[in-house]
Structure formats: structure tokens, C-alpha cells
Chains A and B, each alone.
Chain A
């Protein structure tokens, strides 16, 4: 469970997050939406412990900054927005980084580590990439590997910072299905900053809409993805059209 109480973050006197109080229950799949600069990535950084904030951030009942680096990494895995291409590692070595906190100090990775990496690569369809260097891959392939790296860690919480931004529609949907499968079958809590509102409406149980560092609306996709609310958050006229067969909402700017 993630519990935030009155979180505030300031970057050189500029407010990035203000009075954020929210609870993400164990096994929830929630999306964070909002315009650029609304505070989505900052909020994820606070939860991952990468950014110190005012207020209280609790992970499974413990203050995030009181967890050791190893404890933190065994609970939370983070999929970053982008993986730099110049890292001279092969796909397999890259995914193995997800096991950093569990690897032995000396010697080769253990059988458990190898099995976890293999499983993560199979589930994300990245096995054919294991011998290729990251520099020879497309942005989408690197992003899928980043997801495999997070899966390999065996976390209870996955934080994703616009992790599907570089993927085509096919891979985007595939990754979302994969996240939902992990969420449903293993009870992994998923919290993802997402720009694609239709994707957000389609795949998440709960959406948290941020505006200028504060929560504007928090609820189910049906309650959050209202034209009037989105217009306030994004500052443009928006039309929402409900889609049949539980396909979510079509959201188009006017």
C-alpha cells in the first residue's frame, strides 16, 4: 500500500507538488494524468524515494526514506520514461540490472536470478533481444526491455513514468495487457503516469488527475474523464464520446 499525506515539493521556490494526500491500495491499478508540468513524474519520484518531499510518504506502512536501498528495490520497481541508447549493454545484461539488489557481490548471477530474467524476457517478448546491444535497438524495444527489467526484480509495486510513450499501438496495448495481467494474477500494485487519455480510460481502475501540482480529481475513469474536468486541467476544449463494448472513452480536442 502507498500512503501519501500532505506531500509538498518545491524546486527552487517553485511549487511542483502541493498538499497531495492519497492512498493507493495493494493490488490497485491506477493512472496519473495531467498536462505537462502538472507534477506526474515528481509524484512518482517521491513515491520511489528519489526525491525528498515535505509530508509523509509511506510504503507498506514504512516511511520510504527509512527503507534501505535493498528493501526499497525489492518492493518498488520503476520503469523510466526513456532508456538512453548509448549504454553499451546487451539486452540480457540490461534486464539483469533489475536484479541488482539481489545479485551476489562476487561471481555470476544465481539460478534464481537467471530464471527471473528469463521469465521476464519471455513475458515481455524481449527474448530475441537478449544478445543485441541497446544502441542497436529501437526506442520501443528498449522500453519493452525496461519493463522486463522491472518484472525481473519481482516487485510488489511497479511505478511507470510514461513508459509506453515510445511504443507503437500494438506494443502499447500489449504492455498494458501485460501490466493488467501482473496486477490481476499476482496482485502487483501498478501506478503509471500516462499522457494517452484513451489508454488511461481503457486500462486503469482509477485515475488521479493532477493540475499544477495538486489533485484536481481522483476516481474511476468514468468520473475523471469528463469533458469539463479535462478542459480545466488541459486548458483546451475537449469532447468525450463513450465507446461501446467496455472500450472506454474517445477523447478528442475540439
Chain B
């Protein structure tokens, strides 16, 4: 049950979300205002903006929910797809598909390649962290993730080096964290797995609550930890991979949103998961608006905005004393 204060915060959040979505449809490189639907240009503009807003919402929801799940399953408050290097792994997979030129014909190949590479990265990171003394230790997992992420970034540079001029441009623009997703086809191909993953996670919100007590206690509470934990990690990876395939690397969205929600509403995943979906989506749409309006007529990629706000937040979490 929510307290009075939480109900106020929730109501303010709903009002804020409506305002942000309304603002998002009116903001763009073509100026401020609702596009004129009577003209072809206006309709095209609305189509572009709608695609961008939905992409922003889906990507933000996916990254935020993935972060929330990873933090619980790995019992690590700093766990997040970007920091763990999962996003970098996914980006290598996506870049390879982009470099082959197959993405234009078969958009679903982008999330597929992204997911395979992201899964391989997760397995690699977990096994290295385990050898380094246990994946439950925050430092081990974070350090392994950061180093693996750096190595994968170099692999990405290598792919860019050997790619053709046109591919280099599209990979670079996509890499910066760009919400102007190529097409509705790609958006659909990536959104369906994300929705399925969210449904799976919502069905396991009680399991995630039990996992807050650690793997052994969760086992004692009736969780089949041997199968459920890997599946939860696969779902978080799938969501990250689909988000990366659409919008490139957007860091820290999976860290900021779940932490703020935990602080305000506690860690009951029955509320935290849907909260992460909605707040994560709104957060990224708001960051995108900021990127579009702060230095007109230039557009700052949304990945830059989240990194600028998320980096200091990460450092704050890293240095703050345990209460």
C-alpha cells in the first residue's frame, strides 16, 4: 500500500509525464508547435516525431527495467547494462549487422545480432568476475564490466575502420545514442521482444522480491534459482540488446531511474517494475527534449544528456556511505 507522500509523488509524476509527452510532440528541428496535419509535410513531421517519442519511451523503459532487474539479481546497486559492458557487447553485434548491409532488408537482424553479442558479453563478464573472487562483489563485477566494455569499444572502432563511408556515418550517428530510429519496422521488431520480456518480468516480481534476500534465501523461499536467475538475466539482456539496436549506446538510464524509484517507493518489484517501465520511458523522452532545445538549431544526442546527468549520479552512488 502506498503512503500519502508516495501518492502525491505518483500523481505529480503522472501529470509531469503527460506534460513531457505533450511537449515532445511539439518539439523538433522544424520548430515548436503542433505539426499542421492538413499538409503532407506536417503529417510526415508528426510521423517522425511520433516514431521518435515511441522509440524514446521504449528504449528508456527497456534500459531502466533491465537495470532494475540486474541490480536485484546480481545484488549490486551499481549494476546497469552500460556500466556492465552489456550495451557495448550489444553495440558490436548491431554494428556487425550494419556493416554487412543486411539491416536495410531484414530489420529484425539488428536486434538478433545485438542480442547474441550481448549474451556472449554477459557470459564472459560473469565468468571473469566469478574467477576474480565472486560476481556478488560490486567492485569485481563493475571493474570487469568496465574493462570488457573498453575492449568491445575498440572492437567497434575496428569495425568502423573497415566499414564503407556510408556505413561509417550511420554507425557513428547511431552510436551517439540517437532516438530517430530508422523505421517503424525496426521499432516493431525491437518493441515486441521488449514487451514479452516485461510481461515475463512482471510475472516474476515476487521472485525478484525474494532475490533481494540473496540467492540462498530465495531458494529457501521457493525460487528455483538454478533456472530463474539465468532467465532473468537473459530477459534483461534481451531488453538491453533491443534498446541498443534501436538507439545505440545510452548510458546510465538503467541506473538513475530505478534508484530514484527505490528511494521513493521501496523495493517491492510489484510496483518497482511497472514504475521503471513508465518512469524510464518518460525520463528518456525528457532527456531527448532537452537535447533538442538546449542548443538550437543543433541537436545533442540523448546519450550525451544521459551520460552528463548519469555519470555524476554513478559517482555519488559509488562514494556515498551505506546508510
Contact = CB atoms under 8 A, between A and B. Distances in A.
A94 to B, nearest CB: 9
B196 interface: no
B213 A73 contact: no
B170 interface: no
A70 B222 contact: yes
A228 interface: no
Nearest to B228: A69
A76 B220 contact: yes
Interface stretch (A97-105, A196-204, A238-246): A97-105
Nearest to A45: B216
B206 A88 contact: no
A74 B221 CA distance: 9
Interface string A74-116: 1011101001101111100100111011010110100000000
A87 B212 contact: yes
Interface string B270-300: 1000000000000000000000000000000
A210 B270 CA distance: 43
Nearest to B217: A80
Interface hub of A45, A78, A97, A131 (most chain B Cβ within 10 A): A97
A80 B3 CA distance: 30
Nearest to B77: A86
Contacts of B217: 78, 80
Contacts, number: 74
Given A105-B203, A106-B203, A135-B323, A89 B209 contact: yes
Nearest to A88: B267
B150 interface: no
A73 B299 CA distance: 55
Nearest to A89: B267
B219 A93 contact: no
A186 interface: no
Interface string B184-210: 000000000000000000111011011
A48 interface: yes
Contacts of A77: 220
A50 B219 contact: yes
A140 B267 CA distance: 22
A49 B213 contact: no
Contacts of B323: 86, 135
> Chain A contact residues (Cβ within 8 angstroms of B): what range?
35 or more
B223 interface: yes
B268 A73 contact: no
B322 A87 contact: no
Interface string B246-279: 0000000000000000100011101000000000
A53 B218 CA distance: 20
Contacts of A68: 224
A102 to B, nearest CB: 8
B210 A97 contact: yes
B203 A97 contact: no
A97 B221 contact: yes
B220 A50 contact: yes
Contacts of B207: 100
Contacts of B268: 89, 93
A222 B233 CA distance: 52
A103 B208 CA distance: 13
Contacts of B182: none
Contact of B202 (A45, A72, A96, A106): A106
A87 B202 contact: no
A108 B268 CA distance: 12
B216 A50 contact: yes
A220 to B, nearest CB: 29
A133 interface: yes
B266 A89 contact: yes
Interface in A110-159: 131, 133, 135, 153
Contacts of B322: 86
A108 B266 CA distance: 16
B206 A100 contact: yes
Contacts of A100: 206-207, 209-210, 218, 221-223
Contacts of A133: 266
A198 B268 CA distance: 40
Given A87-B213, A93-B266, A69 B222 contact: yes
Interface in A202-229: none
Contacts of A87: 212-213, 267
A97 B209 contact: yes
Contacts of B219: 48-50, 69
Nearest to A74: B222
Pairs of residues from A and B, 6 with the lowest C-beta to C-beta distance, nearest first:
A73-B222, A101-B222, A78-B220, A69-B224, A88-B267, A100-B221
